[in-house]
Amino acid sequence: MSKTTTQAFSASPSITELTAYMGGACVVRESRNVDLAQGAVSLVLGGLPAQLLPGTHTIVSIEGVGKAKLRNITHRQANLNLQSVLRASIGKQITVAEGIYDDADTMHGELVCVLDGNRLVLKTGGDEAKCTIVPFTTNVGFPEGFPEGLSSTPSVAMNLEVTEAGSYQLKSLYESEGVSWNPWYEIFFDSKAGKLSRFACYVALSNQSGTDFKDAGFKLIGSYNQSQSKGRARSFSAAPAMASLEMAGGGLESADAPTSESVGEHKLYVLPEPISIANGETVNSILVLAADVPVKQEYHLHGGYYVDARGVAEAELPKLPVNVTLKLQNSADNKLGVALPPGEFRVLEADSAGQLQKTDTVHLRERVSPNESFKLDMTTPARDLKGVRVLLASQEDPHHTQELRKKATEDKTELPARFREEDREVTIFNYGDKPMSVCVHESFHDGTEIKWASYPEQGVWNMDDTGARCIMSVPATTSDKPGRASFRYVARWQVE
C-alpha cells in the first residue's frame, strides 16, 4: 500500500539575498518558514523567477521541531495559460458566453475536451445529456473555481520525509538569469585645483528575471558567472543612469558605504541596505562617493611617424595631439582606499558660469586594489598643446646587388649588415598662458643606437629596450608667438 503524500505550499520567501554578477546568472539565497505534516510531504515553492535555471536548486538546511529528509527535487516550468487552465478543467462545469454584454448568450456545461486547441466540447442538457462543440472565440467562466496547481512563474517541488509535524525553516539556493549589475563612474574634474571635487561609482542593478524582489539583500561580484544559460536575450535600461545629472550641486551624501571583501580571487561588495526591485527595473545605488580627491594631470606625446620636412614650411607641417592622463592613488589619504571595479567614467567640468558640462568619456580597464595607483587616459587631447615630428635628414646603405648575394651564397658567407640613419627633431608648441611639462615617447627598432642627441633644456632622456622618454618643459605663449621646446637626435639601426 503506497504512502499518502501531504501537499504543502510556500508562496514566497521571508528573506531573500542575491549575489549578482556583471554577466551571467545571479545566485539567489532564500529563507522560508513552512509548516510540514509528518510523513511524506510534497513542498511546492512559489514566487520563483521566470528565468530560474533548472537543476541549480539546492537545499542548504532544514531546521525545525524534527528532521526532514530530502527524497528528490522537481522543477516545474511556468504553466499558467488559458490552454493549461482548460485542460485542468476537463470534467468540471464551465460557462461559455458569446459576447461581453449582460444579454450575451451563455452556455453552461461540463467540459469534455478541447479540440485542436480552438474548440470546446461541452456536455449539456441535464439528464438528456448532449455534447455541443463551441468555437473557442468566446469568454469562459469557471463556477467551480480556478484550477489549482497552475502558476505564472516556475515552481520547485521538494519531496520530503518529515519525522515530526510542525514549523520548519528552509534555506535554499538557486541560480537565475536576468539579474546583473554594471558599475559606472562620474567625476567632477577641477583642473585648476588639481582635484576631483566628486569621485563617484554607481551600481546599475538590473532585474529582468521575471519576478519582483522585495527588501532583498544584494552582494555584487565583479566577474562573469559561467553557468550555462538558455541563451535568452537580455535588455537593460540605460535611462536611469542619467538620474545623477540632477545631483550636480554640492552637498550630495551617500548612505552607509558598502563593505567589500575577497572571495577566492574575486572582489565582493555588500550593499548596506536591502533593495526592492521590480521586474523590468534598473536601480542605481552608490558604491563609492568621495570629494576633493587629489589628481595629477600629465601630458604625453606618444611615438609616431616623422614627416620629411625638407622643403616644407613649418606652418604647413601636420600638428600631432598631446594626450592627457589623470594619475590617481587609491588610498585613504587620497579620500579613496576601496577596491574599484572596472567601468566607464563620465567626466564633467564646470564652465565659466559654474555649470557642469560633460567633456569626456574614459574607461577603467582593470580592477584597482586599495593603495594601488591607477590612471585614466582621456580621449580628448590637450587644447593648448601640439606636437610636430620632422625628419631633417636620412641615409641608408645601398641594397645588396645580385652579384654580391650570389658570391655570398657561393662562399657561404654572410652579407654585410645594412644600416639606416635618421636625423629627427621633435617640437612641442604651447598655446596656453602657463608653462607645461610634456612627456615625449620615442619608439625604436630593435638594436637602435642613438648616435647623438641635443637634450632639451631641463629635460630628462630615459632610454630602455623599446624606446625612450623625454620630459620636456615648454614655456607659456607670449603676446606674439606660442611657447615652444625642441630636441633633436640621430638614430641608427640595422635594416638587413
Query: What whole-number distance in Å separates Cα of residue 236 and Cα of residue 409?
Result: 67
Domain ranges of the chain: 6-79+150-176, 82-141, 179-292, 385-494
Dist. CA 214–CA 438, nearest whole Å: 54
40: cell is 511524506
Eight-state DSSP code of residue 52: B
User: 21-59 burial by CB neighbour count: b if 16+ within 10 A, else e?
Assistant: bbebbbbbbbebebebbeeebebbbbbbbbbbbeebbee
Which CATH code fits 6-79+150-176? Answer: 2.60.40
> Rounded to whole angstroms, how far apart are CA atoms 149 and 229?
26
> 187-231, pLDDT tens digit by residue?
999 999 999 999 999 999 999 998 899 999 999 998 888 775 444
Cell of 327: 594619475
Cα torsion through 139, 142, 147, 152, rounded to 10: 30
pLDDT of residue 279: 92
Specify the CATH number for 82-141; select among 3.40.50.300, 3.40.640.10, 2.10.260.10, 2.30.30.100: 2.30.30.100
pLDDT at 137: 64
DSSP 307-368: EE-TT--GGGSPPEE-EEEEEEEESGGGT--S-B--EEEEEEEE-TTS-EEEEEEEEE-S-B
Instruction: Report pLDDT for 197.
Output: 95
What is the assigned CATH class of domain 385-494?
Answer: mainly beta
pLDDT less than 70: residues of the chain: 1-2, 99-104, 126-128, 137-138, 149, 151-152, 228-256, 455-461, 464-466
For residue range 265-289, list pLDDT tens digits in order: 888 899 988 999 999 999 998 899 9
pLDDT of residue 483: 93
Amino acid at 467: G
DSSP H helical segments within 339-463, as ranges?
402-411
- pTM of the shown model: 0.73
Classify residue 232 by burial, with Cβ atoms within 10 Å: 0-12, 13-18, 19+. Answer: exposed
Pairwise CA distance, residues 115 & 131, whole Å:
13
Same fold, 82-141 and 385-494: no
